[in-house]
Every structure is written in structure tokens, then in C-alpha cells.
Amino acid sequence: MAEPNPITSTPVAPANDSDDLVRVENLRKHFPVQSGFLASLLNRGHIPAVKAVDGVSFTIRKGEVFGLAGESGSGKSTVGRLILGLLEPTEGQVVFDGTDLGSLSPETMRKLRSRMQVIFQDPLASLNPRMTIGEAITHPVRIHITRQPEEGRRVVIEILNKVGLAPAEQFYDKYPHQISGGQRQRVVIARALVTAPDLVVADEPIAMADVSVRALLLDLMMRLKEELNLTYLFITHDLATAKYVCDRIAIMYLGKMCEVGPLTDVYEHSGHPYTRALLEAVPVPDPRHRRKEPMPAGEIPSAINPPPGCHFHPRCPIARPNCSVEEPALRELRPGHFVACHYAEDILK
């Protein structure tokens, strides 16, 4: 946008000189499980809960692409929603650019929202089928930028051109069903970026797109990041794609972080047996390649009753007796590279 955005130029947060845009501290989110009357009697008031996120801490630095990876049920999307303030944490805090989100009034939170946006996996589910593309993007413009119709239209046209939906005038009056899946995701990207946010949470942004469209969408997201000085939280199950975009990456398993660090460190010197298994499992588009290491036994257990000690121990190829008792803490093995495994040194050897 050519003119300074009136919302983002008004500081709603105290000045934050540090390099961290988001700081997450000991974040927990437990979802109570619905159970019958008899079961709740038997449990004597103790309500079982899905520990979707169970004590996670990390920071996202300004201008980086921070990857959050894991299998389904690992809690990665819940972390994204907690950061956006779409869910209330059970415990812990999210600090955005120096401000603790938990301390904000709804009004200040609403203003802060223009600085953090989200891109979800399914563009068709993210767009109102009865709203034209122009109308869909005009909504955030009206709330956060300008109430003047002509000015609003100009802003929308500009962002449409920027995301490659040109000529924008032609797309403005179209409905989501009239354009292709890749173009729809561009609309969602445009809507997210029109308020000039600082942080974009991208939750599996290309998972629904076809192979030949994925590269184009990734390229667009990375170009806009440079152009608009964005910071991305890139949530994905696809470690191959993450390799092309992330600066740092965190691997989650059953609500906990098992490894976090610069992408090359995590990929080339992974210190957690789960990370190694995940990397080894990724299908490689080369028929000459063969997997070397055996896959861990079983599947990801329930987050209602996660295994004691290290959550990964029942499936871990190098587990020892203490792994089922003592929970490993995240330890810094190399500068900025943290691993939660008692025997990380053995793996790195």
C-alpha cells in the first residue's frame, strides 16, 4: 500500500527493540473431553483432557520464516491459533511485539489483529461463496484501513495485482467458484496481506494445491515477504516443502517440542530420533533412492493419555529404561539448536 496504514503506524504496543516478534512461553492448551454422566462420576470430578499443546516455548524473530512441523495431532495448528489469539491458552503466554496478548482488552486485541493474519489450507472454506473476491478483500480494508469506497477499491485492486491476479478489475467481481484453486489461495493471501501485517500464520497454505501450482504459490509468498517485510509462521506436515522456505524449524510430537533450531542444523544434524524418522520417511522423488533406517513402530498415541516420560519412548529405537520415567528437557546442543532427548549426543555422533 502506498499510503502509511493508519492502524499499523499507530503503536498499540510499547516499543519493542528486540529482534523477537513473537515470544511463546510455556504455552499449554488442554481441551476437555466430553464424557457421559457415569464416567464423570467415576472420575470423581477429574475431567480428562486432550493435551493438544503441553508446555511449548519458542520465539519467532522479525523477518524470518519459522517452520512448525509435525504429524496430525501434534498440536502445531493449535499453537498457530493460540498465537493469533483465536484460542485462549490454558496456561502460559504469547507475547507479540512486546505485548502480552492475555493482558489486552478485546478492543486493543482487535486493533492488534490487523498486524497478524492467517492463511488456512482450504481456500474454498476460507472464502464466502456468496461474496465476490473484491467484497471479500474489502472487508478487512473497511475495518482496518479506510471506510471510503473509492479508496478501498483502489487498495483492493492494488493487492490483487500484487498477488498476480491481473488484470485485477476482472477478478474483482468474480465469485470463488469461478476461479481455480490456485487463484483462490492467491485471494486468501491477498486478503491476509492487505492490512500490511507483521506476522502471517500460514497453516498448510499449499497442502490443497496441485504440484505444479505449489511452487508458484510458495514463490509468491516468499516474494511478498521480502516486499512487505513479513514474518511467517509456516505450519506444515511436509518437511520437503519446509526445506525450501524456512529459516528455522521446530518439530512437534504430542503437544511438545522435540527439536528446534536453524533448518540446516535440524535437517543435517538432527538430534532427536523422532526428527530423524520423520525426515527419513519423506518420500523422495527419485526411484534410485532407498530408505536406510527402519521406521518406528506403531502410530502416534492419544494425546489424552500420552506415555509417561518421553512421549516418544514407546516407538523410539534407542529408548532406555529412564526414558519411560524422566521427561527430557530441551537442551541446547549447538548454538541455537535445541533437542529434547536424553541421548541426543549419541545420535549426533
Partner 1 sequence: MPADILYSVRNLTVEYKTRAGAVRAVDNVSLDIRRGEILGLVGESGCGKSTLGKALMRLHTGPASITGGELWFDGRDLMKLSEREMPDVRGAEIGMVFQDPMTSLNPVQRILDHLTETIQTHEPEISEAAARARSEELVERLGIRRERLNEYPHQMSGGMRQRVMISLALALRAKLVIADEPTTSLDVIVEAKFLDLLKELQKEFGLTILLITHNIGVVAEVADRVAVMYAAKMAEVGDVKEVFADPKHPYTQGLLKSVPNIRLDEGELYKMEGAPPNLLHPPAGCRFHPRCPFVMEVCRTQEPAFDPVVGDHFASCLLYQEAGMKQESLHG
223 counts as binding partner 1 under rule CB under 8 A: no
Interface with partner 1 by CB under 8 A: which range of 21-29, 141-149, 233-241, 332-340?
233-241
Task: Determine, following the binding rule CB under 8 A, whether residue 291 of this chain makes contact with partner 1.
Answer: yes
Would you call the peptide bond into 167 cis, given omega within 30 degrees of 0 as the criterion? yes
Compute CA distances 147 → 110, 131, 152, whole Å.
Answer: 17, 18, 7
Stretch that binds partner 1, among 47-55, 130-138, 215-223, 316-324 (CB under 8 A): 215-223
For 212, half-sphere exposure in the C-beta direction (CA atoms, 13 angstrom radius) is 1
CB of 37 to partner 1, least distance (A): 22
Instruction: Tell me whether strands 331-334 and 49-61 are parallel, antiparallel or unpaired.
Output: unpaired
Cβ proximity to partner 1: between 24 and 239 the closer is 239
Instruction: Pick the stretch among 52-60, 100-108, 168-176, 239-247 that binds partner 1 (CB under 8 A).
Output: 239-247
**Paired sense of beta strands 199-203 and 231-236, if any:** parallel
Residue 316 Cβ, how far from partner 1 at the closest point, in Å?
Answer: 12
Among the candidate windows 100-108, 143-151, 204-212, 341-349, which touches partner 1 by CB under 8 A?
204-212
Q: How far is the CB of 177 from partner 1 (least distance, A)?
A: 13
Residue 13, interface with partner 1 (CB under 8 A)? no
Three-class secondary structure assignment of 80-125: HHHHCCCCCCCEEEEEECCEEHHHCCHHHHHHHHCCEEEECCCHHH
The 10 Å Cβ neighbour count of residue 3 is 11
Look at residues 27, 105, 14 and name the one whose alpha carbon lies nearest to residue 59: 27
* Interface residue with partner 1, options 49, 131, 279, 348 (CB under 8 A): 279
Rg over alpha carbons for the chain, rounded to the nearest Å, is 22
Instruction: Choose which of 214, 225, 272, 342 interacts with partner 1 (CB under 8 A).
Output: 214
Query: Could you list the residues that contact partner 1 (CB under 8 A)?
Result: 71-72, 180-182, 210-216, 218-219, 237-241, 243-244, 267, 277-289, 291, 295-296, 299-300
